[in-house]
Amino acid sequence: MALHQDNCEICTRVAQCRDGSHLGLIAELDTGYAVLGDSQFFRGYSVLLCKEPATELDELPHAFRVRYLEEMSQLASAVRKVTKAHKINYECLGNMVPHLHFHVFPRQLTDPAPLAPVWGQMPSGDDAAKYKLDASRDASLKSDIRRAIEEIRTAR
């Protein structure tokens, strides 16, 4: 069984969300924080950081788990609406950082390899810099996704 790390990257990001210093913060939800991903190679790539330091879904109390999954789906719906994605890819790995978090990747038919998994496509080195999360460039994307989440949550 994976153990939660002492110096947990997700716990650090959750703390940044709580104090308002996380650059990619989209919205606080009941069970987690929706943030833009560090790379915007897949424009609108977002992550739902769980407020609880669980490593597995089944470690969460039932009602919290159901709500967390519902909110992950709301984030995905908002990302799909804003980016007009052809498909959404969901990832919940935790192999490197065993603190529950879901990756939400909007996929387009115009992606360089639209049928391939996302991780092999993320740019590295000098190419990665132009896709790094940027407060100025990505401000409207964050506010559009936030607004879409609010609309989805209001309509339920």
Q: Is the pLDDT of residue 2 over 80?
A: no
pLDDT in tens, 86-127: 999 999 998 889 999 999 999 999 999 999 999 889 998 888
* Type and span of the H or E element at 150: helix 139-155
Q: What's the CA gap between 121 and 131, in Å, rounded?
A: 12
| Under 8 Å between Cβ of 50 and 27 | no
What distances in angstroms separate CA 134 from CA 68, 81, 111, 119, one per listed residue?
Answer: 27, 21, 21, 20
Q: What's the CA gap between 107 and 114, in Å, rounded?
A: 7
Q: Is the pLDDT of residue 54 over 70?
A: yes
Domains and CATH numbers, the chain: 9-108+123-155 (3.30.428.10)
DSSP 88: E
What distances in angstroms separate CA 79 from CA 28, 57, 105, one per listed residue?
Answer: 15, 22, 8
pLDDT in tens, 41-51: 999 999 999 99
Q: To the nearest whole number, what is the mean pLDDT of the chain?
A: 95
